[in-house]
Amino acid sequence: MTHVTARERSGWSAAILLITVVSLVPVLWIVSLSLKDPSTIGDGSFLPTKWSWTNYDGIFKQGIFTDALRNSIGIALISTVIAVAIAAVAAYAIARLDFPGKRLILGASLAIAMFPPISLVGPLYNLWRNIGLYDTWPGLILPYMTFALPLSIFTLSAFFREIPWELEQAAQVDGATPFQAFVKVIAPLAAPGIFTTGILVFIFAWNDFVFAVSLTSTGAAQTVPAAISAFPGASQFTQPIGSIAAAAVVVTIPMVLIVLLFQRRIVSGLTAGAVKG
Amino acid sequence: MSTVAAPAGQARKGMTDRTRSERKLGLMLIAPAVVLMIAVTAYPIIYAFVLSLQRSDLRFPNASKFIGLDNYGSVLSSSLWWSDVFHTLVITVATVAIELVLGMLLALAMHRAIFARGAVRAIALIPYGIVTVVAAFSWRYAWEADSGWIPHLLGLKTDPLASTSGSYIAVIISEVWKTTPFMALLLLGGLALVPDELHEAARVDGATTWQRFWKITIPLMKPAILVALLFRTLDAFRVFDTVYIFNAGAHGTETVSILGYNQLLNRLNLGLGSAVSVLIFVLVAIIAAVFIKGFGAAAAPGGKKT
């Protein structure tokens, strides 16, 4: 049915080339900056004229970056696990059980997802300082729930609606309790949706800047985006451009890999949540 | 759990044990999520409102007292607030408008690609995965007069980031680059709902590609377009990261979120800063309400199903 003419083929090739160039140029640019020798960092050439690993050596010798990397990984992973676990249970109830207030929950979580984060920063800053959560991991993980939970509930309830629930009834007929049916039968079927939601939440937490820059201040809890925005140079005579570029590349590599490997899941997760939510 | 109390009048008498236990289980399962969401959003926003009614400056902690709506008066009568609202609107409208067009083209490419579809989708999604701060740094250094490749490429003699228009263009391009894939994905969800048969039928009747796009694709995608516009408009309105990284709001690019941040965390004026926070919240709510009114008119088919 679809007959591809040579002209269509070259048209698509041009479109694909354009999409590739536009998507990749800023990424290649920051990689190139990170590999430039500090003496040539200001030369404005797109590709390094003098290659060197100096910038990478520099950031891994600085506690500020390695601490931030550890905080970013830990905080993003813990936020993802907590949000997905709590949301999976709630989404199961929304997709499966009949109880009052279901629509209210979905509506309220949509409203919460649209909260401007800056509106929460002031009170949290004051509160956290008073109760000792300022500049701690829980001090960031808790506010991440504001956005991670609604996102997870939405995506997961969309996925859970597609699961063949007859299997659960079959298990219950065979004598399983609703809880057993959930753990033994439905959880394995729900795993792909849970994994996809986890990726989306992780990307969100990894990306956050507003909360990180407002609610943390030291290596105890500062994440990479907040840390590199306040980077000092490798020494006091060098500009931080090279260090920032190198740090940026380090936090970007895992994200590019995640996107390339799980492209299909990210597409299905975001489209499912948007269309069916 | 009391927030999701049963609507009265539903057949309470006829409830079997099974329905009752199902309801109980349902409420139990959503309780942690509901409690946590209320704790981390409702409580801070109420606290922000309380703070906004006080003179509360961390530099003068002993001078705190209740002053009613004075902080709101100060904010709303300052030209800084209104010019920041204007800057935010300029960035929001420009990014969302450009993204809608580019996102639609990208969604069509992702949807219709005749070969390498997986590769196209994967590559197009890369900006979505890049940390906003990283994207902003990359674009900032690309524009910078000495170190950047863009001024060299365009043969610019002056520093583009030292001017208002240059700063806006740079910030908007950075935001558009980062968020167009998200817009495209939301639109792609809508595109997938347009049946191919309709296009075939219209093609047989002699409709051009252009006509089919405007008369079939766009009307059927209206709900998806509205959802995408709502998400991205609210997201763009709270723009913070990119502006902060570019110049922290210098050269007339200060947005309302930057203003709130400066009041709260640089000047440590919790009262005024909280008033700004609450006003941003109100503006976001107004934008959302306008869109949701639009949904009612346009989103009847394909909307929420429970």
Q: What is the percentage of chain A residues whose pLDDT exceeds 70?
A: 94
Within chain A, residue ranges assigned H as helices are 6-35, 54-61, 63-96, 102-113, 118-131, 137-160, 166-173, 178-180, 187-207, 210-215, 224-229, 241-261, 263-276
Q: Inspect the interface and report whether the beta carbons of A270 and B114 lie closer than 8 Å.
A: no
Classified as helix, coil or strand, B54 is: strand
Q: Two tokens at B177?
A: 């680059």
The answer to whether B58 touches B268, Cβ cutoff 8 Å, is: yes
Question: Which residue in A has a C-alpha nearest to residue B222's C-alpha?
Answer: A275
Q: Inspect the interface and report whether the beta carbons of A255 and B131 lie closer than 8 Å.
A: yes
Q: Which range is least confidently modeled, A68-77, B139-148, B201-210, B246-255?
A: B246-255
Q: What is the pLDDT of residue A2?
A: 53
Question: Which residue in A has a C-alpha nearest to residue B257's C-alpha?
Answer: A118
Structure confidence at residue A1 as a pLDDT band (50, 70, 90)? very low
> Chain B contacts of A135, Cβ < 8 Å?
none
What sign does the dihedral A123-A126-A131-A135 (CA atoms) show? positive
Q: What is the pLDDT of residue B2?
A: 40
Q: Please name every residue paired with A51 in a beta bridge, in sequence order, or none if there are none.
A: A36
The single-letter code of the amino acid at A212 is A
Q: What are phi and psi of B66, to 5 degrees?
A: -70, 125
Q: Which of A213, A251, A264 comes nearest B134 by C-beta?
A: A251
Q: Two tokens at B196?
A: 């191919």
Q: What is the pLDDT of residue A27?
A: 94
Q: Does A241 touch chain B (CB under 8 A)?
A: yes
Residue A277 pLDDT > 60: no
> Chain B contacts of A272, Cβ < 8 Å?
189
Residue A274: name the closest of B189, B54, B209 by CA. B189
Residue with tokens 């228009």: B165
Q: What is the crossing angle of helices A137-160 and A102-113, to 10°?
A: 130
Q: What is the rounded average pLDDT of the residues B255-262?
A: 91
Q: What is the pLDDT of residue A45?
A: 82
Please tell me the pTM assigned to this model: 0.88
Q: Does B271 touch chain A (CB under 8 A)?
A: no
What are the residues whose beta carbons fall under 8 Å from the beta carbon of B10, sequence distance 6 or more? A100
Residue B154 pLDDT > 90: no
- Secondary structure string (H, E, C) spanning A18-60: HHHHHHHHHHHHHHHHHHECHHHCCCCCCCCCCECCHHHHHHH
Q: How far is CA A142 from CA A41, A196, A200, B38, B185, in A?
A: 39, 21, 17, 12, 28
Structure confidence at residue A5 as a pLDDT band (50, 70, 90)? confident
> Chain A contacts of B48, Cβ < 8 Å?
119-120, 122-123
Whole-angstrom Cα distance, residue A94 to residue A80?
20
Ranges of beta strands (E only) in B165-296 are none
Q: Inspect the interface and report whether the beta carbons of B128 and A266 lie closer than 8 Å.
A: yes
Residue A273: name the closest of A206, A202, A197 by CA. A197
Higher pLDDT, B192 or B255: B255
Q: Inspect the interface and report whether the beta carbons of A274 and B227 lie closer than 8 Å.
A: yes
The answer to whether B279 touches B52, Cβ cutoff 8 Å, is: no
Q: What is the DSSP letter of B57?
A: B
Interval A20-61: pLDDT, tens: 999 999 999 999 999 988 888 878 788 888 888 888 988 898
Query: Above 0.95 for ipTM, yes or no?
Result: no
Q: What is the percentage of chain B residues whose pLDDT exceeds 70?
A: 91
Q: Does B254 touch chain A (CB under 8 A)?
A: no
Whole-angstrom Cα distance, residue A152 to residue A198?
8
Binning chain B into helix, strand and coil, the percentages to the nearest 5 are 75, 0, 25
Q: How far is CA B91 from CA A173, B19, B95, B228, B300, in A?
A: 58, 51, 6, 17, 31
Q: Inspect the interface and report whether the beta carbons of A4 and B304 lie closer than 8 Å.
A: no
Window 115-144 of A, Cβ < 8 Å to B: 115-127, 142-143
Average pLDDT value over all residues in chain A:
86
Q: What are phi and psi of B55, to 5 degrees?
A: -80, 110
Q: What is the pLDDT of residue A273?
A: 61
Q: What is the percentage of chain B residues whose pLDDT exceeds 90?
A: 31
Whole-angstrom Cα distance, residue B292 to residue B296?
6
Q: Inspect the interface and report whether the beta carbons of A86 and B277 lie closer than 8 Å.
A: no
Window 70-89 of B, Cβ < 8 Å to A: none
Structure confidence at residue B71 as a pLDDT band (50, 70, 90)? confident
Classified as helix, coil or strand, B269 is: strand
Residue B297 pLDDT > 70: no
Question: Which residue in A has a C-alpha nearest to residue B287's C-alpha?
Answer: A114
Residue B163 pLDDT > 60: yes
> Chain A contacts of B114, Cβ < 8 Å?
2, 4, 8-9, 12
Higher pLDDT, A235 or A224: A224
B234 Cα distance to chain centroid: 3
Q: Does A6 touch chain B (CB under 8 A)?
A: no
- Please return the burial class of A274, using the count of CB atoms within 10 Å of its CB with bins 0-12, 13-18 and 19+: buried
Q: What is the rounded average pLDDT of the residues A208-225?
A: 92
Q: What is the pLDDT of residue B276?
A: 92
Q: How far is CA B275 from CA B4, B215, B270, in A?
A: 30, 46, 8
The answer to whether B65 touches B71, Cβ cutoff 8 Å, is: no
The answer to whether A54 touches A38, Cβ cutoff 8 Å, is: yes
Interval A96-139: pLDDT, tens: 888 888 888 888 888 888 888 888 888 899 899 999 999 999 99
Q: Inspect the interface and report whether the beta carbons of A30 and B141 lie closer than 8 Å.
A: yes
Residue A14 pLDDT > 50: yes
Q: Inspect the interface and report whether the beta carbons of B48 and A224 lie closer than 8 Å.
A: no
Q: Does B213 touch chain A (CB under 8 A)?
A: no
Q: What is the DSSP letter of B65?
A: E
Q: Does A170 touch chain B (CB under 8 A)?
A: no
Residue A246: name the closest of B137, B171, B139, B147 by CA. B137
The answer to whether A87 touches B33, Cβ cutoff 8 Å, is: yes
Q: Inspect the interface and report whether the beta carbons of B244 and A108 lie closer than 8 Å.
A: no
Q: Two tokens at B270?
A: 């919790």
Q: What is the DSSP letter of B173?
A: H
Q: What is the pLDDT of residue A274?
A: 56
Q: What is the crossing angle of helices B79-112 and B117-129, to 10°?
A: 160
Structure confidence at residue A239 as a pLDDT band (50, 70, 90)? low
Whole-angstrom Cα distance, residue B255 to residue B88?
5
Q: How far does A229 lie from chain B, in Å, by closest CA?
A: 7
Structure confidence at residue A206 as a pLDDT band (50, 70, 90)? very high
Q: How far is CA A58 from CA A66, A220, A253, in A?
A: 11, 20, 18
Q: Which of A258, A260, A271 comes nearest B188 by C-beta?
A: A271
Interval B170-226: pLDDT, tens: 999 999 999 999 999 989 888 888 888 888 888 888 888 888 888 888 888 888 898
Q: What is the percentage of chain A residues whose pLDDT exceeds 90?
A: 36
Structure confidence at residue A276 as a pLDDT band (50, 70, 90)? very low
Q: What is the rounded average pLDDT of the residues A72-78?
A: 96
Residue B301 pLDDT > 70: no
Q: What is the pLDDT of residue A3?
A: 63
Residue with tokens 């495209």: B184
Q: How far does B58 lie from chain A, in Å, by closest CA?
A: 9
B115 Cα distance to chain centroid: 32
Q: Please name every residue paired with A36 in a beta bridge, in sequence order, or none if there are none.
A: A51
Q: Inspect the interface and report whether the beta carbons of A116 and B261 lie closer than 8 Å.
A: no
